[in-house]
Amino acid sequence: MPFRLGKHTVVLDNPPSIKAYSAIVGKKEGEGPLGRYFDSIFDDSTLGQSSWEKAESMMQNDSVNKTLEKAQLSNSEIQYIFGGDLLNQCISSAYGLRRFDIPFFGLYGACSTMAESLCLASIFIESEAAKNCVCITSSHFCSAERQFRFPLEYGGQRTPTSQWTATAAGSVVVSSGSKAPFIRSFTTGTIEDMGIKDISNMGAAMAPAAAKTILRFFEDTGNKPSDFDMILTGDLGKVGSELLVDLLKRANLDISKQHSDCGLLLFDLDNQNVNAGGSGCGCSAAVLCSYILSGIEKGDLKDILFIATGALMSTVSVQQGESIPAIAHLLHISNHI
């Protein structure tokens, strides 16, 4: 049974196992430093579909199929899918997952979705409400860009603090079982809003949310940063990562030695023209579901904290002068029980 530790952390007594995982990415992501870790890389950003939105749905469909194949499970052996994405009304998930006939819990956590889905699936597995759950999320540069920013044809110039939405999908099967990686505990984030209004600087809007969740985890568990091989944030990018490390130093927590960020791992910032780094639900999902989980499986990584961060604004809220609320959910993932 799960139990609560401190005020905000849930410990999974019989830790759920990540039975299989896959990541599917676009050409640019495949050319980045993690290229060789992905299950497939597609050259055509439409995946042969008539729109980028349909292409993104196809990525979710393909990633779930690939993960089920690796888990050697059929659709009927999966009790729930937990999924979501960045598009209005989460259409990538609704359309991408409609053919599976698997009970579906739709989520919206912006770029925190991968972590959110893992928290929820863990409780379903641990409580035996399910034997196998799929967690899935995605993002697509072209569908996100035209929804949140400008039509691609406009060729708008990007600011140095802006991040590049990854074209990627990542999914896992979470199960009861004795095979690493294991989900050991999680700390669910609160909505934080520090008044930041610059939508070209999401890292700055999300860093305080990440800092708060991380502080709460260490307070609840009594752990130290050195207990972990890696403290991996979702996609704060360069600006947000520096802010996070600085915010935590001021709170007497030094994570500078362990900190990494999916947005900085996915791309080569010097040569791939992504400004402050990668972002999008698919960024942290694809980095986790390739390089990181395989590292844990091999034992190269023993204990990591995965903290996916999301910015919860819309174009309407921004146009109405609102600031950017953000959230960050943390999971402790490990190669041992």
Residue ranges that bind its own copies, judged by CB under 8 A: 1-4, 7-8, 10, 50-51, 53-54, 76, 79-80, 84, 86-91, 94-95, 97-98, 100-110, 116, 119-120, 123-124, 126-130, 147, 187-193, 312-317, 320, 322, 325, 327
- Crossing angle of the two packed helices 141-148 and 52-71, in degrees rounded to 10: 140
Q: How far apart are CA 221 and CA 331, in angstroms?
A: 12
**138, containing H or E segment:** strand 132-139
Closest separation between CB of residue 51 and its own copies, Å? 5
CA distances from 237 to 49, 154, 234, 288, 290 (A): 30, 25, 9, 15, 19
First CA to last CA across the chain, in angstroms? 15
Closest separation between CB of residue 113 and its own copies, Å? 9
Closest separation between CB of residue 186 and its own copies, Å? 9
Q: Is the CB of 9 or the CB of 22 nearer to its own copies?
A: 9
Closest separation between CB of residue 307 and its own copies, Å? 14
Residue 121 CB contacts under 8 Å (≥ 6 apart), including other chains: 16, 80, 82, 130, 133, 134, 135, 174
Residue 40 CB contacts under 8 Å (≥ 6 apart), including other chains: 24, 25, 62, 66
Q: How far apart are CA 203 and CA 244, in angstroms?
A: 9
Give 37's DSSP letter: G
Q: Is the CB of 17 or the CB of 143 nearer to its own copies?
A: 143
Closest separation between CB of residue 82 and its own copies, Å? 9
Closest separation between CB of residue 273 and its own copies, Å? 27
Q: Is the CB of 48 or the CB of 316 nearer to its own copies?
A: 316
Q: Is the CB of 252 or the CB of 320 nearer to its own copies?
A: 320
Q: Is the CB of 3 or the CB of 154 nearer to its own copies?
A: 3
Closest separation between CB of residue 126 and its own copies, Å? 7
Strand partners, 308: 329
Closest separation between CB of residue 283 and its own copies, Å? 17
Q: How far apart are CA 235 and CA 173, in angstroms?
A: 22
Closest CA to 187 of 315, 333, 49: 333
Closest CA to 140 of 203, 262, 44, 53: 53
Q: Is the CB of 37 or the CB of 108 nearer to its own copies?
A: 108
| Dihedral pair phi/psi, residue 309, rounded to 5° | -115, 145
Closest CA to 233 of 312, 107, 328: 328
Q: Is the CB of 118 or the CB of 166 nearer to its own copies?
A: 118
Q: Is the CB of 38 or the CB of 100 nearer to its own copies?
A: 100
Q: Is the CB of 118 or the CB of 230 nearer to its own copies?
A: 118
Q: Are 182 and 336 in contact (CB under 8 A)?
A: yes
Closest separation between CB of residue 61 and its own copies, Å? 12
